[in-house]
């Protein structure tokens, strides 16, 4: 089996009982390890992750989770970690700690005769998005894309890494907490096939003849398994802090969504 999960947001100040949250996620990984060949984590597994030049004691809270990933990799299970918009600031430390392969960009893989496009999902838009959306939505997207450019700036990343972890973590976790509380208090449900950005992105890829059998995303914290006109399926994984949802691909190339109870 090949497993896919995303959006645990470990360490979030907006999620109560953080240790219980991490424990359940570890149990979920232990369940997967029984028949897993590979496990793909599609971003935002941490609510905030930054690797500073100074030792960061706060990382100790993630030792059980990271230890479990290291255990999986030693068992011969290939663990792939895709950075999200909350945990993209890893510069080799996470890979060294866990043995996971880190992916900073979307990629297409072939498994069991199926082509799968894998990405966290932030910043993915159809090529005609500037003319597709109304002005208010367009402005919101533009603000997010500018913020995304700031987060990905090598110079600004270098500057942030120079901060003392106490300072950098205070700002990072408070920013992430506001984002999580905003979502919890005002969740954004599925927008519909004609408005959901990741669905429109997949349709645009198919229109450009970049065919994949499955488009698998995180980021949106909703569960979706939608077949589009080309025959491809768009799958959004949900989350691993409220619903603990995941997908698995069997040896026949069948992809299914599940919830860990």
Position 188 scores a pLDDT of: 86
In terms of DSSP H, where are the helices of 48-196? 63-74, 93-98, 129-132, 135-151, 154-161, 165-185
| SS3 label, residue 249 | strand
pLDDT band at 87 (very low <50, low <70, confident <90, very high): very high
Phi, psi of 41 (to 5 degrees): -100, 115
In the DSSP assignment, the letter for residue 57 is G
pLDDT band at 122 (very low <50, low <70, confident <90, very high): very high
Residue 136 above 90 pLDDT?
A: no
Task: Give domain limits for the chain.
Answer: 2-259
Residue 18 above 90 pLDDT?
A: no
Residue 179 above 90 pLDDT?
A: no
- A 10 A CB-CB count for 252 gives 8
Residue 255 above 90 pLDDT?
A: yes
Degrees, nearest 5: CA angle 77-30-106: 50
d(CA 65, CA 257): 23
Q: What average pLDDT does the segment 224-235 reach?
A: 96
Residue 86 above 90 pLDDT?
A: yes
Residue 34 above 90 pLDDT?
A: yes
Position 125 scores a pLDDT of: 93
CB 223 within 8 A of CB 217: no
CB 221 within 8 A of CB 5: no
d(CA 137, CA 158): 32
Position 129 scores a pLDDT of: 87
Looking at every residue in the chain, the average pLDDT score rounds to 95
Position 137 scores a pLDDT of: 84
Q: What average pLDDT does the segment 177-200 reach?
A: 88
Position 17 scores a pLDDT of: 84
Phi, psi of 39 (to 5 degrees): -130, 125
* Helices first, then strands: H and E counts in the chain: 8, 11
CB 79 within 8 A of CB 98: yes
CB 70 within 8 A of CB 99: yes
Residue 261 above 90 pLDDT?
A: no
Domain 2-259 annotated CATH 3.60.21.10: yes
Position 171 scores a pLDDT of: 95
Q: What average pLDDT does the segment 169-176 reach?
A: 94
pLDDT-above-70 percentage for the chain: 100
Residue 67 above 90 pLDDT?
A: yes
- The single residue listed with the structure tokens 């069948």 is 254
Position 186 scores a pLDDT of: 80
């Amino acid at each position: 089996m090949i497993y896919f999960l995303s959006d645990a947001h470990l360490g979030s100040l907006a999620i109560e009982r953080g240790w219980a949250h991490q424990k359940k996620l570890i149990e979920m990984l232990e369940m997967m390890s029984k028949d897993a060949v590979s496990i793909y984590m599609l971003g935002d597994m941490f609510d905030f992750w930054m690797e500073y030049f100074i030792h960061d004691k706060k990382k100790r809270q993630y030792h059980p989770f990271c230890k479990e990933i290291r255990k999986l990799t030693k068992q011969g299970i290939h663990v792939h970690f895709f950075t999200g918009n909350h945990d993209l600031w890893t510069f080799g430390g996470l890979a060294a700690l866990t043995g996971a392969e880190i992916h900073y960009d979307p990629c297409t893989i072939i498994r069991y005769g199926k082509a799968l496009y894998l990405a966290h999902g932030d910043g993915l838009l159809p090529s005609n998005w500037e003319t597709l959306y109304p002005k208010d939505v367009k402005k919101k997207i533009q603000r997010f894309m500018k913020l995304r450019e700031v987060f990905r700036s090598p110079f600004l990343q270098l500057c942030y890494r120079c901060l003392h972890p106490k300072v950098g973590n205070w700002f990072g976790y408070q920013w992430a907490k506001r984002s999580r509380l905003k979502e919890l208090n005002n969740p954004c449900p599925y927008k519909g096939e004609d408005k959901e950005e990741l669905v429109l992105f997949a349709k645009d890829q198919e229109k450009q003849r970049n065919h994949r059998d499955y488009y698998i995303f995180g980021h949106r914290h909703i569960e979706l398994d939608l077949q589009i006109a080309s025959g491809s399926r768009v799958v959004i994984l949900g989350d691993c802090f409220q619903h603990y949802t995941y997908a698995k691909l069997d040896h026949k190339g069948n992809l299914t969504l599940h919830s860990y109870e």
